[in-house]
Amino acid sequence: MVQPRWKSALYFALFVLPGLALYALFFLYPFGQGIRISFTDWDGLTPRIPISMAKADFESQILNRLPRADERSFLLSIYHLDPADNQYKRYAATGLTRYRLQHLLRVAGFQPEGYKVVGFANYLRIFTGGVEERFYPHVFTQVNYNADSDLPATIPRGDFEKHFLARLSTPQDRELAFAFYSLQDDVYRLKARFDEFALEDRIWLLPEVAVKKVISSEKVDALLSSVKTAGLQKDQAAFNVAVSDFVASSPLSPAEAGEVKAATEQIYKLGALKGLLASTWVQQRFEMGVIGFTIFFTIFNVLFSNLIGFLLALALDTGIKSQKVLRSVFFLPNVLSMIVVALVWSFVFYNLLPALTGIDKWMGDPDKAPWLIVMVQVWQQAGYLMVIYLAGLSNIPTDVLEAASIDGTGFAARLRHITLPLLVPAFTICLFLSLSNSLKSFDLMYAMVGPSGYALGTIPFVMDIFFDAFAKKLAGLATAKAILLFIAIALITGVQLSITKRREVQM
């Protein structure tokens, strides 16, 4: 085609520019902004150009620092002094005006609070353990009982014996535990008469308190609370003083005084047991944290979805009659949105699985939740990988397989020496897709657990970024994390591609 040079350049621009402009506006520009934000402590709200500022601050921090008169007059054409509250206020500024303003603020060296350049501080924080503990894999102490609450009515047998009884050092302590709890139906139950209310009622129901009302309820309250505190602190002396004071200052018959002493004795022990339970019944738990869960999810999702996708493809490639229908069925979850998939499974976890198994807790159980999330992702993704593997299998020339078969090569040997080597390109693609999908998976966890995933340990990296950016007002830190994620994805998939590409064989 012979065209004047300017004309071909014009057409080049005409065709390329619309796409390029949109791409630059909605991707490249935000990308550049993202890099810049990752070096600031921006909270995601503070405008870069202040909307209003106190007069003195405005003049000393911005106006008087501008060297040129035209800059100052430009600034004052945007900001005006509001005499009502002695503040400089900004008119709406858009487009180029905005950029000129930003430039002037830079010249003046002004940075608003909440939008300061902090250099590599965000990155350093991530690498030096400066962000929340739950971001990293860590061991934490799970306290199962809080001394302020009532004694638990039942304690699971394993917990009671392993995590409590076995750790008690003295026979007296063990005796105390068995005074209150006994083994029934494989759980340890609090004996009814040692219930806190039952014990307190022995005082409250004394005729002097309940009927004649010669002892004020305040006095009983004071007695009970000091006895409990004494028990918690194992302070026998304080207990004795409290009880003898009470008995001495109350008109009680000797029998009633004895009852008060016996009941308070039990309440004292109850307090002591509470203290013991709170300090002893603790477990060291390992939590994967955001990083750990992301790695866990990625490893097992890549493993299982590829395994299942590959096995399904092998099964459907045997030439069974229902191949087309089955392929459609296995692929179906893939056209559904991750939100629908996640909610379908939550419905199953709340309604079907408890009815099938009798176990109520599925997603609520920190031991099961990470595995269930992997399962759902595998369910959605396996069909997709299956389709790619199927395409790979159909590319393997049948004559090679037939020749091997006639030579007496068994199925396993054909798989190992012919199918698998020829399928490496499909593995390359599937591994790449499942790796990068796993590292970027967000919708599934958002819909299945949401923010409560922090308690379950099922927050992936991208969701942590989301919460940092929009809930915790840490836009700078969030974007720094996103850039690190990008580097991680690029490194991991780069290594994977270079390894699997090398193993591809040419036909």
The residue among 237 and 505 lying less far from another protein, judged by its C-beta, is 505
Query: Buried b vs exposed e over 167-176: b needs ≥16 C-beta within 10 Å?
Result: eeeeeebeeb
Reported as type and span, the H/E element at residue 81 is strand 79-82
- 118, 259 contact by CB (below 8 A): no
Q: How far is the CB of 409 from another protein (least distance, A)?
A: 15
Looking at the DSSP bridge assignments, the partners of residue 90 are 79
Nearest alpha-carbon partner for 239 in 221, 223, 263, 256? 223
Strands (E) located in 86-178:
87-90, 138-143, 154-156
Q: How far is the CB of 429 from another protein (least distance, A)?
A: 6
Q: How far is the CB of 376 from another protein (least distance, A)?
A: 9
| HSE, side-chain direction, 13 A CA sphere, residue 445 | 28
The residue among 26 and 178 lying less far from another protein, judged by its C-beta, is 26
- In whole angstroms, how far apart are CA 289 and each of 127, 297, 373, 468? 15, 12, 15, 15
The CA distance from 179 to 194, in Å, is 9
Q: How far is the CB of 316 from another protein (least distance, A)?
A: 8
Q: How far is the CB of 397 from another protein (least distance, A)?
A: 18
Q: How far is the CB of 479 from another protein (least distance, A)?
A: 6
The residue among 194 and 349 lying less far from another protein, judged by its C-beta, is 349
Residue 241 corresponds to which tokens in the numbers above?
Answer: 């003083």
The residue among 187 and 314 lying less far from another protein, judged by its C-beta, is 314
Q: How far is the CB of 155 from another protein (least distance, A)?
A: 29
The residue among 11 and 140 lying less far from another protein, judged by its C-beta, is 11
The residue among 34 and 275 lying less far from another protein, judged by its C-beta, is 34
The residue among 259 and 443 lying less far from another protein, judged by its C-beta, is 443
Residue 163 corresponds to which tokens in the numbers above?
Answer: 């995590």
Nearest alpha-carbon partner for 34 in 436, 484, 452? 484
